[in-house]
Amino acid sequence: MINCLVEYKNIPHLYQLYAGFQELHKKNIICLEFTEAENIPELINKPVIKVVLNKQIVVYYDTLDGLNWIDSNESDNISYFLNHFKCHHYFKRSFSSLLDGESNFAVHPLGLNFGVSYNYLGNKSLKNSVLSFLKKQKLIISLFKINTNSLDANQLSHFPDIELNEVNILFSARLWNPRLAKTKESEKQRETINSFRIEIVKKLKEIYKDRFLGGIFEDEYSRTVLKREYLLPFEFTNRDNYISLMKRSTICIATTGLHNSIGWKFGEYVAASRAIITEKLHYEVPGDFKLNKNYLEFNSASQLIKIIDDLLEDKNAIRKMMFSNFEYYNLNLRPDIMIFNTINNIFRLNNN
C-alpha cells in the first residue's frame, strides 16, 4: 500500500483533491495521513500543497488559476516557480509547456477543477452506451469497484431528454471589479473579461429568450453596471439552486477566467456531461480531451450564436459530446480517479 502524507489547507480549490485522496484511502489503495501545511508566507493561502509518497517521493499539487504564485507578471511567476519548488513531480491545474521544459523536476497537467459537494450521475437515454463503456474499463472497474449492473434510471438522471424536451442554454458568470485589481495588467484583463461576458448575456437573452437560463451573478459591483434583467437572481448563488439550474440545461457556455484560467464551471459542465461551448483553452489537461469532441470553441458573440444554432439543428452532435464528457469524467476527472492517475503516473515514470 502506498503511504501518502498530504498537507491540509482549508481552501475550496483543494477539496476535489482531498476527496480523491480520501476515497483512495477508503478503498485501501493508499494509506492517508494529513499534516499541517508549511509556513511559506506567499503560499499559505494559495491552493498549492505538498504530498510525500512512501516517505521519499515529493509531489506538489497545484490548483491555482494560471501562473499566479506571486502578485507579479508572468515572467516573475515562472522564475519563482523554477527557483522555489524542490520536488520530484509537480501536478498543475493550469499546466503550460513553459514550465515543463525549464524545471529540474517533472511537471504534469493535473486536470480540471470543480466543486465536489454534490454528485454527478448519468443519463437515462444513454444507459446502454454508458454500461457498455464502463464494462470495457477493466482496470477502473477492478480498482474502484464500479458496479455496472446498478446504474439504474434514477442514477442516470442528470441528462435532459434531448429528443423530447426543449434544449436550454446556460451561461452564468461573475464580473470582476477592476478597482480591486493589484496590477494594471490585471485591471485591464478584468475590464476585457467583464465586457465580453456582458455582451454574451445580452445576446443570448435577446435571441433565445426563455430558452436561455443564466445571467451575471448579482453583487454590489454588477448592480452598478447592468440592468436587473441581465442579472442572475441572488438565490442562484446558493449551490443547490445553481446545480438545479444546470440540470435543466443541455448546452453550457464557458468563458476564460482570470489569469487565462479554465474556470470551475467548465469542470462542472464536464462532470455533469453537458455539451460545452467555450472560449479557447489556454492550458492543457490530461487524457483524451479534444476540441470538437468534448467541447466547441468560440471567439466572438456572433460565432457563439452560430455554434448554438448549429447544435440546435443537430441533437445527435449534442448527444455525442455529452457522452464524450461522461467518458472523460469517469476516466480522468472523478476525484478518486484523478488522484489515482497522478500516483500511477509517478510510479510508472519512476520504474522506467
User: What is the full DSSP assignment across 329-343?
Assistant: IIIIISHHHHHHHHH
Q: How confident is the model at residue 125 (pLDDT cuts 50, 70, 90)?
A: very low
Q: Is the pLDDT of residue 130 over 70?
A: no
Q: Is the pLDDT of residue 155 over 60?
A: no
State what percent of residues in the chain have pLDDT above 90. 67
Q: Give the mean pLDDT of 228-232.
A: 93
Q: Is the pLDDT of residue 237 over 80?
A: no
pLDDT at position 127, please? Answer: 43
Q: How confident is the model at residue 183 (pLDDT cuts 50, 70, 90)?
A: confident
Name the DSSP class of 116.
-
State what percent of residues in the chain have pLDDT above 70. 86
- CA 188 to chain CA centroid, Å, is 25
Cα(101)–Cα(132) distance, integer angstroms: 40
Q: Give the mean pLDDT of 15-37.
A: 93
Residue 264 contacts residue 252 (beta carbons within 8 Å): no
pLDDT at position 148, please? Answer: 37
Q: How confident is the model at residue 287 (pLDDT cuts 50, 70, 90)?
A: very high
Domain boundaries, the chain: 2-116+336-351, 169-334
Residue 52 contacts residue 34 (beta carbons within 8 Å): no
151 against 12, higher pLDDT: 12
pLDDT at position 158, please? Answer: 52
Beta strand 212-217 with 169-173 is parallel
CATH topology of domain 169-334: Rossmann fold (3.40.50)
Q: How confident is the model at residue 278 (pLDDT cuts 50, 70, 90)?
A: very high
Cα(78)–Cα(38) distance, integer angstroms: 21
Residue 218 contacts residue 234 (beta carbons within 8 Å): yes
pLDDT at position 132, please? Answer: 53
The winner for highest mean pLDDT among 55-59, 159-163, 347-351 is 55-59
For the beta carbon of residue 348, count every other beta carbon within 10 angstroms: 9
Q: Is the pLDDT of residue 120 over 60?
A: no
| pTM as predicted | 0.84
Q: Give the mean pLDDT of 208-233.
A: 93
pLDDT at position 135, please? Answer: 53
272 against 340, higher pLDDT: 340
Cα(63)–Cα(92) distance, integer angstroms: 6
Torsion sign over Cα 159, 262, 170, 231: positive
Q: Give the mean pLDDT of 118-125.
A: 35
On average, the pLDDT of the chain sits at: 86
pLDDT at position 73, please? Answer: 86
